Chains A and B, each alone.
Chain A
Amino acid sequence: MNQPVWLLMQKEYREIWRSYRLIWLPLVFILLGIMDPLTTYYMKDILQAVGNIPEGMALTFPKLSPLEVLSATISQFQTIGIVIVIVLTAMMISKEREQGAVALLYIRPIPVASFIWSKLCSMLTLVLISVCVGMLASTYYITLLYGAITIRELSIAFSLYSIWLLFVISFALLCSAWCKNALSIALSVLVLYGGIIVDAILGQYWTISPWKLPHYAVGVSMHSVELQDVWLSIISSVMSSVIFIVVAMIAMKHKKDTVTI
């Protein structure tokens, strides 16, 4: 029983290497990570160079603390990076199904659970590596330009953000196991990204939700949030991720029964 998991995982890891994903996704996150510290630091110069500011206008910029810049980096990840992650994950199973590669799964007696599991593990590894190098790059620039961030603050931010990523990936995987390719992408972007927007607009009315975790990632170190809310958000995200994965396995199994070759 143990063997198919390893075989499938090897296949998945080979796939993320061969599709260059293991190279370009970390690079993109590094870019996103260093863009924000740089632009906020040189904002004054950038505005003066291209902004058509009238002569003699005095611009004052608030002095940002290192943690505030780290939080800006995370929101940068949240705008572009997360969309890439969602789309990549949402295509994982449904695209293979469209291309017929999954038919192999239906013919051979591979347990559905190990199939979903291998997809989840490979995607999670890929995304966590990317976000980790992105945050490290960002921290390097923040340390150069603004001031030090302690390892403790950085690891708290990374851990909380990883739990959010687990939530995102398991939901997108569920969509992928359940729907057709285009629908899967649309649904997961709508729910996950829509949730981010809803949380940004109306978020002050609730304190516990998976969508809050990216704020809490830095908020904990800034002492601006209640620890109880953070724990409850973590628990709710982990529990819903588990539910999503189980439902994904059930959906996959159900498709297996209905598929005709």
Chain B
Amino acid sequence: MEEVWQSIPWKLILPLIVIQLLLMGIALIDIKRSHEVNGPKLVWVLIVLFISMLGPVLYFILGRRQS
């Protein structure tokens, strides 16, 4: 197991993970802060958490309500 862990090129993949988490984080904070979103908030949280990359994008385009 450790061998596999070592063989993964973390230096290269880390930015990918960080950006994913960043997108996810911004979307989640915005869901929490906004008064109302299009559709139930829980569904958006699940979409943002489980669809990588496209989840937050979908929320920003469809779920967000402009004030």
Chain A complexes with chain B: yes
Among residues of B, the one whose C-beta sits closest to the C-beta of A95 is B66
CB-CB contacts below 8 Å: A85-103 with B: 87-88, 91, 95, 99
- Please report the C-alpha to C-alpha distance between residue A15 and residue B66 in the assembled complex, in whole angstroms: 9
Which A residues are CB-close (under 8 A) to B45? none
CA of A31 to CA of B9 in the docked complex: distance in angstroms?
Answer: 17
- Which residues of B13-57 are within 8 A (CB) of A? 13, 15-16, 19-20, 22-23, 26-27, 30, 53-54, 56-57
Question: Is A232 engaged at the interface, CB distance under 8 Å to the other chain?
Answer: no
Specify which chain B residues have a CB less than 8 angstroms from the CB of A99 in the assembled complex. 66
A61 CB-CB contact with B under 8 Å = no
- The verdict on A198 contacting chain B, using a C-beta distance below 8 Å, is no
Interface size on A, residues (CB 8 A): 25
Q: Are A31 and B53 in touch, CB under 8 angstroms?
A: yes
With a cutoff of 8 Å between Cβ atoms, the chain A residues found around residue B9 in the complex are 42
Question: Is B1 part of the contact surface with A, judged by Cβ < 8 Å?
Answer: no
Nearest-neighbor residue (CB-CB) of A23 within chain B: B26
Chain B interface helix/strand/loop/mixed? helix
Contact B64 A19 (CB under 8 A): yes
A260 CB → nearest B CB, Å: 24
| CB pair A31 B60 closer than 8 Å | no
CA distance A152 to B49 in the complex (A): 40
Given A20-B26, A21-B60, A24-B56, is A31 in contact with B20 using a C-beta cutoff of 8 Å? Answer: yes
CA–CA, A88 and B64, complex, Å: 12
Flag if B20 contacts A141 (CB, 8 Å).
no
Q: Give A34 to B66 CA distance when docked, in angstroms.
A: 31
Q: Which residues of B contact A88 (CB under 8 A)?
A: 61
Interface residue tally on B, bucketed by range: 20 to 34
Give the residue of B27, B54, B56, B60 whose beta carbon is less than 8 angstroms from that of A19: B60
Docked CA distance A15–B64 (Å): 13
CB < 8 Å: which of B12, B13, B53, B60 contacts A20? B60
Chain B residues within an 8 Å CB radius of A141: 12
Contact of A35 with B22 in the complex, beta carbons under 8 Å: no
User: In the complex, A224→B10 CA distance in Å?
Assistant: 36
A129 within 8 A of B: no
Distance (whole angstroms) from the CB of A193 to the closest CB of chain B: 15
Cross-chain contact B16 with A28 (CB below 8 angstroms): no
A137–B15 CA distance with the chains assembled, in angstroms? 10
Q: How far is the CA of A42 from the CA of B61 in the complex (A)?
A: 32
User: Is B66 a contact partner of A24 (Cβ separation < 8 A)?
Assistant: no
A84 in the interface (beta carbon within 8 A): yes
Which B residues are within 8 Å of any A CB, using their own CB?
9, 12-13, 15-16, 19-20, 22-23, 26-27, 30, 53-54, 56-57, 60-61, 64, 66
- Sample 7 A-B pairs with CB under 8 A, ordered by A number: A15-B66, A20-B30, A24-B60, A28-B23, A31-B23, A95-B66, A137-B15
Q: A34-B15, A91-B61 are in contact. List 7 more A-B contacts (CB 8 A).
A: A24-B26, A24-B56, A30-B19, A38-B16, A42-B9, A137-B15, A145-B12
